[in-house]
Amino acid sequence: MFRPRIIPTLLLKDGSLVKSVKFKNYTYIGDPMNAVKLFNDFKADELVFLDIDASKDNKLISLDIVRAVSEEANMPFSVGGGIKTIEDIHQIIGAGAEKVVLSSRAMSDPHFIKEASDIFGSSTIVVCIDIKKTFFGSKVVYTNNGKKSSGYSPKEAAQLAEQNGAGEIIVQSIDKDGTMSGYDLDLIKEIATCVTIPVIALGGAGNFEDMKVCFESSRASALAAGSYFVYHDAQKGVLISYPDPAQIQTLRQQ
């Protein structure tokens, strides 16, 4: 019996936990370490931490934060933000993260994915592809927190990541980010059916039913979300939460 991993994705800005809508309009949520403690209590499967300003500001996600999370978290966690070199990955793994999330560097230089996976192993390397529709309606992968077009289609980017040794792919819809209106099911299914490595769905989950529909229809291996785990409801009152075990048990496939 297989069930998907359920993964809170937490955005960091200036050391604080924030949440965005379509990669804009950032709202302060609180102290990331308080969130980690709560997700410990909830027995979350994994966590993902992404520093949204790191690439833009030409810096690496704070290693102090990575160490603090490592000391507190009872679950595996991945870290992304500003990773440009093999030494950056060494430092992040050395600070306690199980996996790193590559995005901007991965799309500008796909060979870096291969270099990293050859050194650290595919299971350590996650590639996040951020996707939004252009004015003409086509879907394109963007980098630098949604500011720069990579020129790749989602399918091209996903296959490139797999060919270069990525162990997992996060498929994030910029257009769905923070809307709590449900995942982009067609997008996720397109990616999940064109690669053989696990695909993590991200962007748009507003409730547990959205996760269930995504799992049943898109072939995603894991279900990630931001707003769903930090807001009480669509009115966006801040409340850290996680599905209860009885709900999670309904997400199973033979």
Give the span between the Cα atoms of 13 and 216, in whole angstroms: 34
Q: Classify the C-alpha dihedral 204-68-245-30 as positive or negative.
A: negative
The residue with greater pLDDT, 24 or 165, is 165
Residue type at 60 in one-letter notation: L
Question: Is the per-residue pLDDT at 225 higher than 70?
Answer: yes
Q: What is the pLDDT of residue 253?
A: 64
* Residue 193 confidence (pLDDT) above 90: yes
Give the model confidence (pLDDT) of 136-185 as tens digits.
889 999 998 888 889 999 999 999 999 999 999 999 999 999 999 999 99
The DSSP code sequence of 96-122 is T-SEEEE-HHHHH-THHHHHHHHHH-G
Comparing 77-86, 103-112, 143-152, the range with the smallest average pLDDT is 143-152
pLDDT computed for residue 2 by the predictor: 80
Select which of 51, 130, 177, 184 is catalytic.
130
In the block, tokens 């299971």 appear at: 123
Asked if 177 is an active-site residue, the reply is no
Could you say which DSSP state residue 144 is in?
Answer: T
Domains and CATH numbers, the chain: 5-249 (3.20.20.70)
CB neighbour list of residue 109: distance below 8 Å, 6 or more residues apart = none
pTM to 2 decimal places: 0.95
Average pLDDT, the chain: 94
Assess whether pLDDT exceeds 90 at residue 54.
no
